[in-house]
Structure 1
Amino acid sequence: MRAFRESFARFIMPYKFGIDEVTTKVSILREEFSELHEYNPIEHISSRLKSAESIEQKIVRKQCEPSYDAIRESITDIAGVRIVCSFVSDVYHVFDLLTAQEDVHVLRVKDYIAAPKPNGYKSLHAIVEIPVFLSEGSVLVPVEIQLRTVAMDFWASLEHKIYYKYDGDVPAGILRDLTAAADTANDLDVTMEKLHHQVRGAGPTDGIPIAI
């Protein structure tokens, strides 16, 4: 057991440091906007590192070989960072600023804002690769970044709690109400962004879907 704990710690540690690298980058952008600009598009930042149990469950679902090399290759969301922005246009703006940095390599993007999931889920997902410098040299670590608005984040949090309560088997009536709530959240995003641009004296700018 001690050998397993040590090997797992060695495996998981770069992912933790990958989270640290990304959150530092986002925190720097957030502080710069707060101190030097009239408007800060980043509301808050959170992160999560998959537990050994969560990784094991994903190994089973993906039918992945239970070796560290295979896990590194197949599971790219072990490290995750969530960035909550004020408005939809901010989501794309922050994404562009973050991925323009020379040591951030975009591997994959899924734009669930431009093309929401059937249940109404909206968010911009990206898998990026970040160099982490260790005593033995640098390693490239994949980190999943989710960017969404406050309204999208509130809806997603509620959706997660509902699916957890019903163990994934959510009654049809609740699913209909949840989808309707997603439409309401979208209407709120559109209205609030329009008001925001009116107050700032600028014309509204629509977020441009990203395809990579």
Structure 2
Amino acid sequence: MKDIREWDTFLIPYEQAVEELKVKFKHLRRGYDDLGEYSPIEFVVGRVKKVSSILSKTRRLGIEYEEIAEKMEDIAGIRIMCQLLGDIYHVVELLRERDGKDFTILYEKDYIRDKKESGYRSYHLVISYPVYSAVGYREILAEIQIRTLAMNFWAIIEHSLNYKYQNQVPLSVRKRLQSAAASVWALDLEMQQLKEEIKSAQKLFKQNAMAVHNINAQLQLLSAVGDYDLAAHFQSRLDAILDLSSTERLEELYEQINSCLSGEPR
């Protein structure tokens, strides 16, 4: 049996892998934002399984201690949350494009089309990930779960109930969970039907946010050159436009302030 120091050493590459993968997927999301495009990734979280959980699983599955690294697939776990059902399969394709480059996909489990008896839905990929850490080179196993926000909410509740009842959830509670899972699935299907409306609304919001950011930068420049009255005038106009949420008027205001800064007659 490993002592605490041995476990700390053993988990170093897993901890590094989780941090590296989170950075990669968060930057992928940010790239869509920078391009002004809809991102299939809403947010990313990750964790390394606790030693107590690892030991519990080894006992449950009959895994020997020396087999943990090669047989336990979810010591390192990444969870990618999506807004829409279709986004999940978009993310899966993005991950497949990286297969054989910065990691290797060993296999996939589609629990969305083939849900578990409990009602659980998610898309899982098990990967082999190369890590260069303080303990040297390792190729570790990691599990990536991709699910919608609604699926994630349900999964968190299920996990909490399994913990409360020590994996012996009463039948009446299980049935209510299954009913809730069906409602979550219906919600995800409905939201998928509204995907174009949702994407359009979010794109408009991002455009307006960027326009306001640029206008505020211009107002700071006006103040920096001492034109405080003009800056206050344009700030007042900006406040009025924000109440209307008008992209066209934001663009017009930006051009007017830009003309003032460039010395053009207004």
Q: TM-score range by the shorter chain?
A: 0.7 to 0.9
1:128, distance to aligned residue in structure 2 (A): 0.8
Distance 2:179 2:80 in 1: 24
SS at match of 1:100: helix
How far, CA to CA, are the matches of 1:135 and 1:48 in structure 2? 19
Name the structure 1 match of 2:76. Answer: 79
User: Relative contact order (alpha carbons < 8 A, sep ≥ 6): 1 or 2 greater?
Assistant: 1
Tell me the alpha carbon deviations over residues 29-75 of structure 1, each in whole angstroms, 9 at most, x when there is no partner.
111011113212212211111111111111111111222xx111111
Q: Matches of residues 52-71 of structure 1 in structure 2 within 5 Å?
A: 52-67=51-66, 70-71=67-68
Find the aligned partners of 2:198 and 2:73 in 1 and give their Cα distance.
41
TM-score by length of 2: 0.70
Q: How many residues align?
A: 198
State the partner residue of 1:94: 91
Q: Could you tell me which residue of structure 2 aligns to residue 120 of structure 1?
A: 119
Letter of the structure 2 residue corresponding to residue 110 of structure 1:
K
2:178 & 2:136 partners in 1: Cα distance? 47
C-alpha distance 182-135 of structure 1, shift in aligned 2 (>3 A): closer
1:51 matches 2:50: yes
CA shift in 2, pair 1:9/1:192, >3 Å: same
- The answer as to 2:177 corresponding to 1:178 is yes
CA distance change for structure 1 residues 6 and 136 in 2, over 3 Å: closer, same or farther? closer
| Partner amino acid, structure 2, of 1:108 | Y
> For the Cα contact (< 8 Å) 1:125–1:146, is it kept in 2?
yes
Runs of 4+ more than 6 Å apart: none
> 1:140 corresponds to which letter in structure 2?
E
Supply the distance in 2 between the matched residues of 1:37 and 1:93 (Cα, whole angstroms): 17
Q: Which has the larger radius of gyration?
A: 2
Distance 1:172-1:105 versus aligned 2 partners, 3 A rule = same
**Quick check: 20-29 or 136-145, which moved more?**
136-145
For residues 113-192 of structure 1, the aligned pairs below 5 Å read: 113-134=112-133, 137-192=136-191
- In 2, the alpha carbon distance for the partners of 1:64 and 1:132 equals 23
Alpha-carbon distance in 2 for matches of 1:191, 1:184: 11
Percent identical across equivalent pairs?
37
Q: What's the secondary structure of 2:74's corresponding residue?
A: coil
What does the per-residue CA deviation read over 1:68-97, in whole Å, with 9 as the maximum and x for residues that have no partner? xx1111111101011110111111111221
Moved more, 179-188 or 191-200: 191-200
Q: Deviations over 1:91-130 (max 9, x none)?
A: 1111221231212200121110010001110000111111
Q: CA deviation at 1:200?
A: 5.2
Instruction: Rate the CA distance shift 1:90–1:8 in 2: closer, same or farther, 3 A.
Output: same
Query: Which residue does 1:205 correspond to in 2?
Result: none
CA drift at 1:197: 2.6
Q: When the two structures are superposed, what TM-score results if normalisation uses the length of structure 1?
A: 0.86
In structure 2, the gaps of 5 or more residues are: 201-266
Q: Structure 1's 28 and 200: CA in aligned 2 closer, same or farther, altered over 3 A?
A: closer
Q: Conserved in 1, the CA contact under 8 Å of 2:121 and 2:151?
A: yes
Distance verdict in 2 for CA 1:184–1:106, change over 3 Å: same
